[in-house]
């Protein structure tokens, strides 16, 4: 399945490692250090969530304007229009 992160960004749900609250991640020293070492893409809008993925062996972080709760609900396939089947698996 594919998850919409905001704007024109989508990721495969099987590549998602963790979805974090942006403010909590920024406050936590260890989490902040971990995230600083990742390739990061900031999507338009005020960041509310950090989505960490592993794509082709590389960990990436996306700063999403969508709340972590909404992203998690969408990633679990709870009937949201922004979660779609990936035609390539």
36-81 per-position pLDDT tens digit: 999 999 999 999 999 999 999 999 999 999 999 999 888 876 654 4
Residues 6+ apart with CB under 8 A from 74: 3, 4, 80, 82, 83
Residues 6+ apart with CB under 8 A from 19: 49, 50, 51, 52, 68, 71, 72, 75
Residue 83 has pLDDT above 70, yes or no: no
What pTM, to 2 d.p., does this model score? 0.84
């Amino acid at each position: 399945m594919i998850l919409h992160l905001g704007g024109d960004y989508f990721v495969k749900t099987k590549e998602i490692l963790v979805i974090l609250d942006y403010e909590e991640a920024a406050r936590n020293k260890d989490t902040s250090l971990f995230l600083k070492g990742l390739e990061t893409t900031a999507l338009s809008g005020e960041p509310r969530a950090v989505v960490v993925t592993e794509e082709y062996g590389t960990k990436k972080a996306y700063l999403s304007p969508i709340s972590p709760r909404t992203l998690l609900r969408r990633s679990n396939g709870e009937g949201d229009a922004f979660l779609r089947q990936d035609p390539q698996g």
